[in-house]
Structure 1
Amino acid sequence: MDQDAVYQLRVVLSGISPLIWRRLLVPDSATIADLHEILQTAFGWSDGYLHRFTIHGVEYGLGRLGAVGFSHDAHQVRLADFAFRPGERFTYTYTYNLFAFWRHDIRVEKLLPRTRGRILPVCTGGARQAPPEECRDAEAFLALRRDLPQVVIAARLAEFLTEVMDAPDDQAARALLADRREEMDTLVRYAGLDDFDRGALNRALAALQRDMVAAQARTAVETARTCTTCGKRRGAKDSHQIVLRTLFGTLHLDSPRYLACRCGADQAATVSPLTVLLPERTTPELLFWEAKYAALLGETFPLGRELQAAAVRQHVEQTATRLEEELGEEHTSFIDTCPRDWEDLPRPGLPLVVTLDGGYVHSSNQTSRRDGWFEVVTGRSTPTGGGDAKTFAFVQTYDHKPKRRLYEVLKAQGMADNQQVVFLTDGGEDIRDLPAFLNPQAEYYLDWFHVTMRITVLRQMTRSLPPPGDVDEEVFTIDPVRVDADLERIKHFLWHGNTYRALDLIEDLVEDSETVCAEEATDKQRAFLTRISEFCGYIASNRGQIPNYGERHRCGEAVSSASAESAVNQVISRRVVKKQQMRWSPRGAHLLLQVRTRVLNGDLADDFARWYPGFAPPEQDVGLAA
């Protein structure tokens, strides 16, 4: 395959920890069909189920009889057509049914130049074998690994070998082997799940490459059969095989001969398209490396006036009210396009990362110490590939158009319906539902900071739990040291996106704590039960929004709402909380925040230019206004 560029792809099987991944070098001339075959080979799948790629909001794949088809021919769409940039992501889903599937997250790590002599596709890294296909999804596989760890597998194999060796005679041993062969084959296969043979995979990819070249040759020959002058198909005469020597092996390709077209366009009596396409029987890449190896032997492949506070407040409120009147109507969903329309959209920008968090403001309507605050939701939208970030804020109990407000911020940054948008929230129900139905390609993740913060609090609480020696031996208790170790394991599982194993451990801690508190328990133990039960519900309700944080962090992608934390400090704390000890009404705080965020985003001057044609803003540092 002749290629001008090579994509370095990192493919990760989603929802599994420890990580199962492959790093592949794939030419940009590879088609969607080729990439499908490459991924099937790389993960050892059988291609027995349906699949689909989702790229820039459009689905691609090879259609199957009785299944939903695709609008594009996977054999004609090449990776080069997407003009991927480093950092872009797309997905490949291998589907057993609507509820069981394997999702592969594919990241474009690098765009490499063409290197003569390199065999492509090739695997340059990876870890662990793919799960047994019969598991059907990540959760079932994780359950298998929990119930059948390597120690149990080794013990069963040893037990079986002992039975064979203790058989009274060879006939009984052979009968035992025949009776238990399927079980033993399964155990041996499961025993090797942590192994990864890159050499074997590359040999399989080389074989796949040979099949791809042969298929390309057949397509080229069939295309050449049609006369370019009259458009009629030439008649077939005969066929023979030609031998093509390449870096990845020797190919035997069928080379048919066709009769000359009756229109007289062909000068010879017969036409052999493959002979014309391949005048030499050895590829230049092989010739180059042969010559290099032979030569080197050992080469391996102004505010100048006084202002009145009351007047300033009134003017700010007037400006904010005007901004609010311009805001469109609120909707439950802002997705108003059809998937078929996404195909006609231009190539989208890199993903937008939107972080959401909350802050609290002193209330002027305080009735008690507990009711003396109200929440302000703040967020920041940042383009992945660089560009100006934009902040937004609103008072949750006052604003009736929160979705519209967030949607307009994203549209101002050029958000398209085929562009990926990543939302990071603290998992609270109010904030978690805010970004829903704003973008069809959106991904919703739980902020890692809020996860680890809860675990840290729980681990601190274990230090106040009584050790087993301080209570009656007949009374069931839990060991604080073991609980702390389990919390560390839970943190590890959550960091790697393994919510299945994490919830197992959390539920065990809840059950143990309930058993302790069912009898005589201290206040500290009851407090721990309350907190661990709350944490269990928190993780369970957000399990679908917990990614593999470790993988995202290694790839330079956001895992926490740190930018939202800084936005809370910039938008709220510096103006209305820290040194500004005045109390606010929800309406007054909300209107002030609308003007403040427009100033910080550099948009207020554009608003005034729209309201007052000919308006020229003074050269004023935003920091002064802030």
Structure 2
Amino acid sequence: MAVEWTITIEGRNEFGDTCRKEVRIDKSWKGLSDGDIGLSIADGKKIMAALQIAVVSHEAETYSLFRRVCPDCHTFRPVKGYTTRKIRTVFGTVEVRNPRWMLCRDCHPGMVAAFAPLNEICPDRATPELFELTARLGSMMPYRQAAKVLGEFLPIEPTETYATVRKRTIRVGERLDEQNAKEERRARAQRDDRSQLEMQLPGGRRKEFVISIDTAHVRSADPNSARNFELVVARCGRGGRGDVGGRYFVTSNTDQAAIRDRALHALQQEGYCDFGNVTVISDGAEILKRLPRAMLKPTAHIIDWFHIAMKIQPMQQIADHIVRSQSDPFEVLPTIDRDIRSVKWRLWHGRVDGAIRGLQPLLARLKDSQSAGEFSIARLYSLASQLLTYVHSNRGAIVNYGKRYRAGLRVASALAECQSARNWGSDSVLMTL
């Protein structure tokens, strides 16, 4: 016993023309014992291919008829001729009638020219969705495997080979490069210094656009491979602590102009019009210092308070241990814990010179106390030296964090840190390339 399923597809255009398509699917009860239940992939391909043929043919015919009407005198344009055109879609290739219309002789006297209306809606002979899907698969797997996956699940013709996948992937990449180049040219033309022009509205912290930026290191799983690179992860938005962070972007291009253009593009999606106050929050890495220098003015660079605090925390723990131990080697450092807290307090309030003046005598006392051979003192001296170097290198980007915190503004790049950790697991990532 067999069951015949008939699927009828009907469409009607603006001119009243009706298009009807029927698809028949035969299902035998004998196949139920073999697990043939429901529609198979082949049945799905057949249905979607028939539906796509009906829809594309109807749309192409309707658009061609619409374009035959002259927009000036509203009469039909003369016919140059008829050909056929193949349009490749994700649900199969559709062959449609491809007319060519002449220009209206009354509206364009003396001009003899013809045009194909289908070139206007499908210049590549393939839909943008098929290009995007092919390029996405081609970028994630070998071209042969991508072509096999397309043919396995979609009613794709055998002509969709690995060579086609490669060409489409390269073409989409070229278009993305052209788009980035246009954005770069537009950004360079808008690099004039601007000032804050927004109104003094309630909730002033939303006037500030914040770029929280961090890096993630990606190294090859093969220890002998040299294909290691660094990714830049950033979140661009506006608002203070507790507000929605904004848009992310990730790039492996660490060029100054490339990072700036990606940041400007992300900020524009958040309402940035090239004249708002911009604040870049980073950990002070040299690769990230390029962004504030390339951004439109006014742009401020702030060192992430979290990284400063994480450099002071182990020092504080060692100092507390030294004070509690009260052994002979530590008697020369009775106030070491209070001295480190004082340095942290000064940095929190942006008093960089005072913090440096507090670190220098502290280092001198630790250096004199290293003769006792105590590991804790040697470790504390090393951490204090690193902190002093870090403060010296980034003194221009250390601000009054307490004032920003009380105003509800961001003082850390936690938004970019969280996304970096979520995507890559840690700052050092193992990846098979």
For normalisation by structure 1, the TM-score amounts to 0.36
**Does residue 409 of the first structure (1) align with residue 266 of the second (2)?**
yes
**Does residue 482 of the first structure (1) align with residue 335 of the second (2)?**
yes
TM-superposed CA distance for 1:484, in Å, is 2.0
Separation (CA, whole Å) in 2 of partners of 1:548 and 1:399: 27
**Does residue 507 of the first structure (1) align with residue 360 of the second (2)?**
yes
1:461 partner amino acid: I
Corresponding residue number in structure 2 for 1:381:
236
Corresponding residue number in structure 1 for 2:431:
583
Corresponding residue number in structure 2 for 1:157:
none
Distance 1:559-1:382 versus aligned 2 partners, 3 A rule: same
Residue 380 of structure 1: SS of its match in structure 2?
A: strand
Post-superposition Cα deviations, 1:504-558, rounded to whole Å, max 9, x if no partner, equal 21122122222234x4534443332222111011112222212221221111111
Corresponding residue number in structure 2 for 1:423:
280
2:289 partner amino acid: R
Separation (CA, whole Å) in 1 of partners of 2:173 and 2:423: 15
TM-superposed CA distance for 1:437, in Å, is 2.6
1:375 partner amino acid: E
Counterparts of residues 290-369 of structure 1 (less than 5 Å): 309-310=141-142, 311=145, 322-328=175-181, 334=188, 336=190, 338=192, 350-367=207-224
**Equivalent pair of 1:362/1:374 in contact (CA under 8 Å):** yes
Corresponding residue number in structure 2 for 1:469:
327
Residue 435 of structure 1: SS of its match in structure 2?
A: helix
Residue 430 of structure 1: SS of its match in structure 2?
A: coil
Corresponding residue number in structure 2 for 1:234:
none
2:295 partner amino acid: L
Corresponding residue number in structure 2 for 1:100:
none
Distance 1:337-1:360 versus aligned 2 partners, 3 A rule: closer
Counterparts of residues 117-136 of structure 1 (less than 5 Å): none
Separation (CA, whole Å) in 1 of partners of 2:396 and 2:180: 32
**Does residue 548 of the first structure (1) align with residue 412 of the second (2)?**
no
Distance 1:452-1:396 versus aligned 2 partners, 3 A rule: farther
Counterparts of residues 17-166 of structure 1 (less than 5 Å): none
Post-superposition Cα deviations, 1:246-285, rounded to whole Å, max 9, x if no partner, equal xxxxxxxxxxxxxxxxxxxxxxxxxxxxxxxxxxxxxxxx
Residue 328 of structure 1: SS of its match in structure 2?
A: helix
Corresponding residue number in structure 1 for 2:314:
457
Corresponding residue number in structure 2 for 1:533:
385
**Does residue 558 of the first structure (1) align with residue 406 of the second (2)?**
no
- Percent identity between the two aligned chains: 25
Post-superposition Cα deviations, 1:441-479, rounded to whole Å, max 9, x if no partner, equal 1111111111111111222333565956333xxxx9742
User: Number of paired residues?
Assistant: 263
For normalisation by structure 2, the TM-score amounts to 0.51
Distance 1:342-1:488 versus aligned 2 partners, 3 A rule: closer
Corresponding residue number in structure 2 for 1:140:
none
Separation (CA, whole Å) in 2 of partners of 1:509 and 1:373: 40
Runs (5+) with no aligned partner, structure 1: 1-306, 586-626
**Equivalent pair of 1:380/1:390 in contact (CA under 8 Å):** yes
Distance 1:376-1:458 versus aligned 2 partners, 3 A rule: farther
RMSD over aligned Cα, in angstroms?
4.0
**Equivalent pair of 2:349/2:403 in contact (CA under 8 Å):** yes
TM-superposed CA distance for 1:418, in Å, is 2.3
1:422 partner amino acid: T
**Does residue 495 of the first structure (1) align with residue 353 of the second (2)?**
no
Separation (CA, whole Å) in 2 of partners of 1:403 and 1:533: 33
Post-superposition Cα deviations, 1:368-406, rounded to whole Å, max 9, x if no partner, equal 9xx996532211011228777111112366998333332
Separation (CA, whole Å) in 2 of partners of 1:552 and 1:521: 42
1:486 partner amino acid: D
**Equivalent pair of 1:350/1:383 in contact (CA under 8 Å):** yes
**Does residue 516 of the first structure (1) align with residue 364 of the second (2)?**
no
**Equivalent pair of 1:335/1:440 in contact (CA under 8 Å):** no
**Equivalent pair of 2:210/2:237 in contact (CA under 8 Å):** yes
